[in-house]
Amino acid sequence: MSDRPDSREPEVLVIGGGATGIGTARDLALRGVDVTVVDRGGLCSGTSGRSHGLLHSGARYAEADERGAAECIEENRILRRIAGAAIEDTGGLFVGLADDDADYFAEKRAACEAVGIPTETLDPDTAREAVPDLADDVERVMRVPDGVVYPSRLIAANALDAEAHGATIHPHAPVESITVEDGRVSAVALGGSVDGTVRPEYVVNAAGAWAGEVAAMAGLEVEMQPTRGVMVSVEYDGLGPVLNRCREPDDGDIVVPHGDEVVLGTTSVPVNDPDDYEQARWEVETSIEECAAMLPDVADAPVVREWWGVRPLYAPDEAERGGRGISRGFFRLDHAADGVDNAVSVVGGKLTTYRMMAASTADLVCDRLGVDAECETAERELVGADDPERLDEAITRFDGQGPTDVDVVGTAD
Ligand SMILES: Cc1cc2nc3c(=O)[nH]c(=O)nc-3n(C[C@H](O)[C@H](O)[C@H](O)COP(=O)(O)OP(=O)(O)OC[C@H]3O[C@@H](n4cnc5c(N)ncnc54)[C@H](O)[C@@H]3O)c2cc1C
């Protein structure tokens, strides 16, 4: 780094080694840009490694958030092509119980069709052929192209590809301060494994729920409203598809299959500090109870593990929409509009849409740097996509194991 004799300055510094930051680094590296990524912890140590791991079809958001739903189905299709062992094509079912609103089911199906999310309505007996333990009072079922995503593998694959194209990746290198001079970020002080100062041409703030704190170091305001959620993994062997409750989004709506476990969740409660928040028992209990309404056997299944995460939601959007109906679309905030010419923050979105967030961010960066190169990330298979063992080795090297897929990583034959 700049205060070392053998250092060199990166053209672009990406802050945050979650899916968004690493995805942006991959995209920029493929376009020939010299990029360095730093994370204060291991890769995947933020929200990406702590998600529910659902590869959204977009059906969950279709009737309330058309934009978020359209982004999900587009990226769902791309990830099926490029992400290999980082995803599992399980399919998903939306399940309406006797007490759930039949009109809502019809509305969701119509909204899915309008957005271009394919659905197939099944009678409950046919659905039971796929999931024999479905609750007795299931009345309506719709098949959608949901899947499962293993975030540690996804991020490792992006990191390997970024590295293969010249990117430098520094886990355990927190940004400690940012200096702005004459309307530009002139220096970024890094601690931990780097312990030095860099002077990049351009800075990408992909710090997720912490994006507000990072922006504040540069005197910028990025108002975040993180919400916490819990995941509870219980013993349950061989659930085929993802199960979603077909009702207005609420707590405990989703069961994600993971080999001999299923992951139950989740909740959504605003938090003030993404590093210090309450972990309330009612959220664990509600997640189990509500998921058991669809799949009764999970009510008494032994709990294997439990973890929490915080959604990187953008507060102005949250305030506009309120509650659970907030957009799962993303926001690219060009700080030139705030008087800092060489910085952008990218917030919101989903793990499912990380590649699109990265592409949009890289487009802006390239435009500012005068780099004339198109995004290639939707067409090129990720490095190691067909080699889970290689991905799992990379997870170790980048200290990139999150709790979501700890049961899966390392089990490749
Ligand atoms: C409970 C829950 C369930 C979810 N389930 C799903 C799901 O099933 N499917 C789906 O698609 N999405 C899901 N999401 C959303 C998804 O996980 C997030 O939108 C996505 O992972 C955010 O990725 P990111 O890279 O933007 O942020 P992060 O992964 O949080 O990355 C930001 C990184 O910045 C780093 N950082 C912070 N401060 C600094 C600093 N000072 N210096 C250096 N680095 C720093 C952090 O360590 C972190 O690694 C869920 C989220 C939650 C909370």
Cβ of 358 closer than 6 Å to ligand 1, yes or no, is: no
Q: At what angle do helices 151-164 and 19-30 cross, to 10 degrees?
A: 30
Q: Cβ of 263: how many Cβ atoms within 10 Å?
A: 31
Q: Which amino acid is at 217?
A: M
pLDDT in tens, 40-50: 999 999 999 99
Q: What is the mean pLDDT of residues 305-310?
A: 98
Which residue has the least CA distance to atom 10 on ligand 1?
A: 351
- Dump strand ranges (E) for 241-392: 242-245, 254-258, 261-265, 269-270, 303-311, 330-334, 343-348
> Among 172, 288, 198, which Cα is nearest to 3's?
198
| Planar angle of CA 133, 139, 145, nearest 5 degrees | 70
Query: How far apart, in whole angstroms, are the C-alpha atoms of residue 409 and residue 411?
Result: 6
Q: Are strands 120-122 and 138-144 parallel, antiparallel or unpaired?
A: antiparallel
Cβ of 152 closer than 6 Å to ligand 1, yes or no, is: no
pLDDT in tens, 184-201: 999 999 999 999 999 999
Query: How far apart, in whole angstroms, are the C-alpha atoms of residue 242 and residue 145?
Result: 9
pLDDT in tens, 339-378: 999 999 999 999 999 999 999 999 999 999 999 999 999 9
pLDDT at 176 exceeding the cut of 90: yes
Kindly state the percentage of the chain with pLDDT values over 90. Answer: 92
Query: How far apart, in whole angstroms, are the C-alpha atoms of residue 275 and residue 306?
Result: 17
Residue 164 has which token pair?
A: 């293969």
Centre of ligand 1 to C-alpha 312, Å, is 6
Query: How far apart, in whole angstroms, are the C-alpha atoms of residue 68 and residue 333?
Result: 17
Q: Which atom of ligand 1 is nearest to the CA of 254?
A: 8
Cβ of 148 closer than 6 Å to ligand 1, yes or no, is: no
Instruction: Look up tokens 């990408």; give the residue.
Output: 204
Q: What is the mean pLDDT of residues 133-158?
A: 98
Cβ of 226 closer than 6 Å to ligand 1, yes or no, is: no
| Planar angle of CA 333, 337, 375, nearest 5 degrees | 45
**Residues present in the chain in total:** 413
pLDDT at 411 exceeding the cut of 90: no
Going from N- to C-terminal start, the domains of the chain cover 1-90+146-224+316-413, 92-144+227-311
pLDDT at 221 exceeding the cut of 60: yes
- pLDDT of the residue at 374: 97
Q: Where does 92-144+227-311 sit in CATH, by number?
A: 3.30.9.10
pLDDT at 299 exceeding the cut of 60: yes
Q: What is the mean pLDDT of residues 317-343?
A: 78
Query: Is residue 50 within 8 Å of residue 308, measured between CB atoms?
Result: yes
pLDDT at 318 exceeding the cut of 80: no
Cβ of 191 closer than 6 Å to ligand 1, yes or no, is: no
Residue 403 has which token pair?
A: 């709790």
CATH value of 1-90+146-224+316-413 in 3.40.50.970, 3.40.470.10, 3.50.50.60, 3.40.50.300: 3.50.50.60
How many C-alpha atoms does 7 have within 13 Å on its Cβ side? 16
pLDDT in tens, 225-267: 999 999 999 999 999 999 999 999 999 999 999 999 999 999 9
- Dump strand ranges (E) for 78-237: 87-88, 92-97, 120-122, 138-144, 147-149, 168-170, 175-181, 184-190, 196-198, 202-205, 227-235
- pLDDT of the residue at 6: 41
CA 150 from centroid of its chain's CA atoms: 10
